[in-house]
């Protein structure tokens, strides 16, 4: 209260997933954005090679979205959706239902990927209970999985640092093995050949706990935050078969893969595997307004409607579920994706992108290269005793050279807006090559 205000004081903002003290010593500040580029506080253009945090699929300042948000805020700034409705929220849900696999016809709105995950886990538990199968309470995640930061998400998540400081989390959770197998799969183009059998780890877990106690398994069809891990060929299909065999719901966490990242509306469509629940966020609104959506199979929704023991069928929701401004941003984002044919554009660029990613083979410290759709990853050898240091240095140098990349551990991840041009792909990778050559 008595602290003097300083205009450029960085100490009050506790920054998310950031080494705060290190950042304060040399901040990277962004003041504007347009298309593929950010403007830094010192007036430089920075190419956004990560679509923000995997969300700005149509590029920054997409005119339709900007206009829709401006118009909406001046028309209906907020309305609750507990016992009231807004026409656009119905429109958005039917449009989403038509984008996702057949039969996934119902949508629950949230405000983030983390909330989508917690919502999906709750819907799965609720579904079994409504069917009178109340013993199905266990939730299964996967090692190295990232499902946001809610207690549900970190419980099923498998990134150790995200879990270790936060107590016991949810009980009754277990994890299947991750699929990363560099010995057999390093430098694979697209999905790796080896590892479909890793899905059978779900059989081990099911038999350990008794399958009739398991409610759901949640995986990212393509894992991003753990350093871009692609599903081995046939893995997701096998997971689906095992879930069917045991009556386990399959949840695909598509927070980064939905809305065009793999050149399709969803990874479910890309891989031809239909889960029971899909979690989304990010690209839903092009990152402009926070929003998430959980897409649910009709049989789950109908079970809730038919079996509820109270007029309210699901005791769950957020003050900002279907927030009118988020809905407006989402509708305009879907319009933009369609009008600019951005999913097909991403698909068309995927081969060029793959060649560019794998063109980095042989550069210093490069241990593995991975790609799918418009996603690329460069895994670097770690410095002895300093995991993550080399990639972090690359990220800082990239910023100095006008490039935003993302790092997790010693993996550099790239996921540009789907509007990237071939010339920009060239620039991005030649800069990256220079950066890799320059770090020790
Ligand atoms: C697969 C996945 N799930 C959930 C989340 C969490 O989303 P949010 O940060 O919007 O809560 C993320 C974020 O990167 C993600 O990649």
Q: Which residues form the pocket of ligand 1, taking CB atoms under 6 Å from any ligand atom?
A: 112-114, 117, 146-148, 220, 224-225, 253, 255-256, 281
- pLDDT tens for each residue of 77-92: 999 999 999 999 999 9
**pLDDT at residue 354 in the model:** 98
Q: Find the 3 Cα to ligand 1 centroid distance in Å.
A: 35
In this prediction, what percent of the chain has a pLDDT beyond 70? Answer: 98
Q: Find the 438 Cα to ligand 1 centroid distance in Å.
A: 32
Higher pLDDT among residues 3 and 80, named by residue: 80
**pLDDT at residue 132 in the model:** 95
pLDDT average, residue stretch 43-51: 98
Is the CB of residue 157 less than 8 Å from the CB of residue 141?
yes
Q: What is the mean pLDDT of the chain?
A: 97
**pLDDT at residue 168 in the model:** 95
Report which ligand 1 atom has the smallest distance to the Cα of 290: 10
* pLDDT band, residue 412 (cuts 50/70/90): very high
Instruction: Measure the N-to-C terminal CA separation of the chain; round to a whole number of Å.
Output: 46
Higher pLDDT among residues 284 and 10, named by residue: 284
β-bridge partners, 406: 413
What is the distance between the alpha carbons of residues 196 and 199, in angstroms, rounded to a whole number? 6
Report which ligand 1 atom has the smallest distance to the Cα of 257: 1
In this prediction, what percent of the chain has a pLDDT beyond 90? Answer: 96
CA atoms within 13 A on the CB side of 68: 23
Q: Find the 255 Cα to ligand 1 centroid distance in Å.
A: 6
Name the nearest CA neighbour of 413 among 424, 423, 422, 403: 403
Q: Find the 222 Cα to ligand 1 centroid distance in Å.
A: 12
For tokens 């504007």, name the residue: 32
In 3-state terms the chain splits into helix, strand, coil percentages (rounded to 5) of 40, 15, 40
- pLDDT tens for each residue of 383-394: 999 999 999 999
Q: Find the 147 Cα to ligand 1 centroid distance in Å.
A: 6
| Helices 342-358 and 422-438, axial angle in degrees (round to 10) | 30
Whether the pLDDT of residue 5 is over 70: the answer is no
Q: Find the 146 Cα to ligand 1 centroid distance in Å.
A: 7
Question: Considering Cα of 305, then 309, then 314, then 319, what sign does the dihedral take?
Answer: positive
- pLDDT tens for each residue of 99-138: 999 999 999 999 999 999 999 999 999 999 999 999 999 9
Q: Find the 439 Cα to ligand 1 centroid distance in Å.
A: 30
What is the distance between the alpha carbons of residues 328 and 291, in angstroms, rounded to a whole number? 11
The secondary structure element, H or E, covering residue 350 is helix 342-358
Residue nearest to atom 8 of ligand 1 (CA): 113
**pLDDT at residue 10 in the model:** 82
Whether the pLDDT of residue 1 is over 70: the answer is no
Report which ligand 1 atom has the smallest distance to the Cα of 281: 10
Name the nearest CA neighbour of 109 among 330, 326, 333, 321: 321
Report which ligand 1 atom has the smallest distance to the Cα of 256: 16
- pLDDT tens for each residue of 333-359: 999 999 999 999 999 999 999 999 999
Report which ligand 1 atom has the smallest distance to the Cα of 54: 14
Domain 67-339 annotated CATH 3.40.640.10? yes
- pLDDT tens for each residue of 223-237: 999 999 999 999 999
Cβ contacts of residue 262 below 8 Å, gap of 6+? 222, 270, 346, 372, 373, 374, 375
Residue nearest to atom 3 of ligand 1 (CA): 147
Residue nearest to atom 12 of ligand 1 (CA): 148
β-bridge partners, 140: 174, 217
Whether the pLDDT of residue 2 is over 90: the answer is no
**pLDDT at residue 7 in the model:** 62
Q: Where are the domains of the chain?
A: 20-58+341-438, 67-339
Residue 307: count of CB within 10 angstroms of its CB: 14
Between 16-25, 73-82, 243-252, the lowest mean confidence (pLDDT) is in 16-25
Higher pLDDT among residues 437 and 26, named by residue: 437
Q: What is the CATH architecture of 20-58+341-438?
A: Alpha-Beta Complex (3.90)
Q: Find the 114 Cα to ligand 1 centroid distance in Å.
A: 6
**pLDDT at residue 313 in the model:** 96
- pLDDT tens for each residue of 259-286: 999 999 999 999 999 999 999 999 999 9
Whether the pLDDT of residue 309 is over 90: the answer is no
Residue nearest to atom 13 of ligand 1 (CA): 148
Residue to probe by mutation, ligand 1, list 16, 52, 56, 113, most atoms within 8 Å of CB: 113
Report which ligand 1 atom has the smallest distance to the Cα of 282: 10
Q: Find the 364 Cα to ligand 1 centroid distance in Å.
A: 31
**pLDDT at residue 164 in the model:** 96
Which DSSP string do the residues of 243-279 spell out, in sequence order? HHHHT-EEEEE-TTTTTTTTSSS-HHHHHT---SEEE
Whether the pLDDT of residue 192 is over 90: the answer is yes
Whether the pLDDT of residue 161 is over 90: the answer is yes
Q: Do domains 20-58+341-438 and 67-339 have the same CATH topology?
A: no
* pLDDT band, residue 9 (cuts 50/70/90): confident
What is the distance between the alpha carbons of residues 95 and 240, in angstroms, rounded to a whole number? 26
């Amino acid at each position: 209260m008595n602290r003097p205000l300083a205009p450029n004081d960085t100490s009050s903002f506790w920054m998310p997933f950031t080494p705060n003290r290190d950042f304060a010593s040399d901040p990277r500040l962004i003041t504007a954005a347009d298309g593929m580029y950010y403007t830094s506080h010192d007036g430089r253009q920075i190419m956004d090679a990560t679509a923000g945090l995997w969300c700005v699929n149509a590029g920054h300042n997409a005119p339709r979205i900007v206009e829709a948000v401006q118009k909406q805020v001046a028309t209906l700034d907020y309305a609750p959706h507990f016992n009231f409705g807004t026409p656009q929220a119905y429109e958005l849900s039917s449009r989403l239902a038509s984008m996702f696999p057949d039969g996934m016809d119902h949508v629950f709105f949230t405000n983030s990927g983390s909330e989508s995950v917690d919502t999906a886990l709750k819907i799965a538990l609720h579904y079994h209970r409504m069917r009178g199968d109340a013993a199905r309470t266990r939730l299964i995640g996967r090692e190295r999985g990232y499902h946001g930061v809610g207690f549900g998400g970190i419980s099923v998540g498998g990134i150790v640092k995200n879990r270790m400081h936060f107590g016991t989390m949810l009980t009754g959770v277990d994890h299947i093995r991750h699929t990363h197998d560099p010995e057999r799969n390093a430098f694979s183009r697209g999905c790796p050949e080896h590892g479909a059998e890793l899905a059978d780890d779900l059989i081990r877990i099911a038999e350990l706990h008794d399958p009739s106690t398991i409610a759901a398994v949640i995986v990212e069809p393509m894992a991003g935050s753990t350093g871009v891990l692609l599903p081995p060929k046939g893995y997701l299909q096998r997971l689906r078969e095992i879930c069917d065999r045991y009556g386990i719901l399959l949840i695909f966490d598509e927070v980064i893969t939905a809305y065009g990242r793999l050149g399709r509306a969803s990874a479910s469509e890309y891989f031809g595997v239909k889960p029971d629940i899909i979690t989304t966020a990010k690209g839903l609104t092009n990152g402009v307004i926070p929003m998430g959506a959980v897409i649910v199979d009709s049989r789950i929704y109908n079970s809730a409607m038919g079996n509820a023991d109270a007029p309210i069928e699901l005791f769950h929701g957020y003050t900002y579920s279907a927030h009118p401004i988020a809905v407006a941003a989402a509708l305009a984002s879907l319009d933009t994706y369609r009008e600019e044919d951005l999913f097909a554009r991403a698909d068309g660029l995927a081969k060029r992108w793959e060649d560019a990613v794998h063109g980095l083979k042989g550069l210093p410290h490069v241990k593995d290269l991975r790609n799918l759709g418009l996603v690329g990853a460069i895994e670097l050898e770690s410095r002895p005793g300093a995991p993550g240091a080399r990639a972090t240095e690359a990220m800082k140098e990239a910023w100095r050279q006008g490039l935003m990349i993302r790092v997790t551990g010693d993996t550099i991840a790239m996921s540009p807006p789907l509007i990237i041009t071939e010339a920009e792909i060239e620039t991005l990778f030649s800069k990256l090559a220079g950066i890799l050559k320059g770090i020790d």
